Amino acid sequence: MHKLGFTVFLLFFTVFCEAQLPTLAKESDSVAKDSIIKLDYLSSLLNGYFPTNYFDFDIKYLLKYNQYEAIRLGLGGTTNNHFSKKLRLGGYVAYAFKDHNFKFSVNGSVRVNEKKNTWLKAAYTSDLQETASTAFVVDGRVFQLFEPRLLNIDLFYHHQTTSIGLQNDLSPHLLSEIQLANSFIEPTYNYGYILNNHIYSTYHISTAIVCLQWSPFSIFERTTGRPRETVVGYPKFTFQATKSFSDVLGGDFNFIKFDFRTFFKFVHNNKTNTEFILTSGIALGDTPLTHLYHAYPNNITKETILQRFTVAGLNSFETMYFNEFFSDKFLTLQGRHYFKPFYESKWSKPQLAIVSRFALGNMKNKARHLGLSFDTLEKGYFESGIELNKLLFGFGLSFTYRYGSYHLSHEADNMALKFTFNITL
CATH number at residue 329: 2.40.160
pLDDT given for residue 246 in this prediction: 94
What is the DSSP track for 337-401? EEPPPS---SS---EEEEEEEEEEEE-SSGGGEES---B--TT-EEEEEEEEEEEETTEEEEEEE
pLDDT at position 14 over 80: no
**For residue 9, what pLDDT band results from cuts at 50, 70 and 90?**
very low
Query: Does residue 370 lie in a domain region?
Result: yes
Q: Could you give the percent of the chain with pLDDT greater than 70?
A: 85
Mean pLDDT of 88-108: 96
Q: How far apart are CA 219 and CA 217, in angstroms?
A: 7
Domain count, the chain: 1
pLDDT beyond 90 at 212: yes
Assess if residue 247 is contained within a domain: yes
Write out the residue range of the structural domain in which residue 207 sits.
114-421
353: nearest Cα among 382, 380, 391, 319: 391
Tell me the average pLDDT of the chain: 87
The pLDDT value given to residue 44: 65
Residue 249, in any domain of the structure: yes
Q: What integer is the mean pLDDT of 181-207?
A: 96
Q: Would you say residue 77 lies in a domain?
A: no
Please, which residues bridge with residue 241 across strands?
Answer: 210, 258
Asked whether residue 80 is domain-assigned, the answer is no
- DSSP string spanning 178-242? EEEEEEEEEESSS-EEEETTEEESSEEEEEEEEEEEE-TT-EEE-SSSSPEEEE--S-EEEEEEE
Q: What is the SS3 assignment for 34?
A: helix
- pTM here is 0.84
Residue 228: the pLDDT is 72
Q: How confident is the model at residue 149 (pLDDT cuts 50, 70, 90)?
A: confident
Instruction: Quote the Cα angle for 52-56-57, to 5°.
Output: 105
Helix or strand or coil: residue 174?
Answer: strand
pLDDT in tens, 300-320: 988 889 888 888 888 899 999
- 216-232: pLDDT as tens digits: 988 887 665 566 777 88
DSSP code for 145: S
126 and 290 in contact (C-beta within 8 Å)?
A: no
* C-beta of residue 407 within 8 angstroms of C-beta of residue 382: no
89-95 average pLDDT score: 96
Higher pLDDT, 47 or 152: 152
Per residue in 312-350, is it b (16+ CB within 10 Å) or e — as a string?
A: bbbbbbbbbbbbbbbbbbbbbebbbbbeebeeeeeebbe
C-alpha torsion angle, residues 50, 52, 57, 62 (rounded to 10):
-60
Backbone angles phi, psi at 101, to 5 degrees: -125, 145
Round to whole Å and give the CA distance between 323 and 374. 7
**Confidence class for position 17, pLDDT limits 50, 70, 90:** very low
Mean pLDDT across the stretch 60-84?
93
- Rounded CA gap, 172 and 351, in Å? 34
Within 10 A of 19 (CB to CB), how many other CB atoms are there? 10
Q: How many CB atoms lie within 10 A of CB 149?
A: 21
Residue 229 within any structural domain of the chain: yes
Give the containing element (helix H, strand E) for 326: none
- Domain-located, residue 83: no
Pairing mode, strands 87-96 and 101-113: antiparallel
Please state whether beta strands 273-285 and 329-338 pair in parallel, antiparallel, or not at all (unpaired). Answer: antiparallel
pLDDT of residue 231: 81
Residue with more model confidence, 347 or 255: 255
Q: Are 205 and 242 in contact (CB under 8 A)?
A: no
Peptide bond into 51 cis (omega under 30): no
pLDDT at residue 338 in the model: 95
- Poorest-confidence range of 28-42, 65-79, 215-229, 310-324? 28-42
Query: Using CA atoms, how far apart are residues 165 and 119, in angstroms rounded to an integer?
Result: 8
Q: Which are the contacts of 90, defined by CB distance < 8 A and separation ≥ 6? A: 58, 76, 77, 78, 79, 106, 107, 108
State the amino acid at position 145 in one-letter form.
L
Q: How far apart are CA 210 and CA 175, in angstroms?
A: 11
pLDDT at 42 over 70: no
**What whole-number percentage of the chain has pLDDT above 90?**
65
Yes or no: say if 194 and 137 are a contact pair by the CB < 8 Å rule: no
Residue (of 401, 400, 352, 406) closest to 376 by Cα position:
406
Question: Could you report how far apart the first and last alpha carbons of the chain are, in Å?
Answer: 27
| Residue of 424 and 292 predicted with greater confidence | 292
Q: How high is the pLDDT of residue 60?
A: 86
Residue 11 placed within a domain: no
Question: What pLDDT is attached to residue 7?
Answer: 45
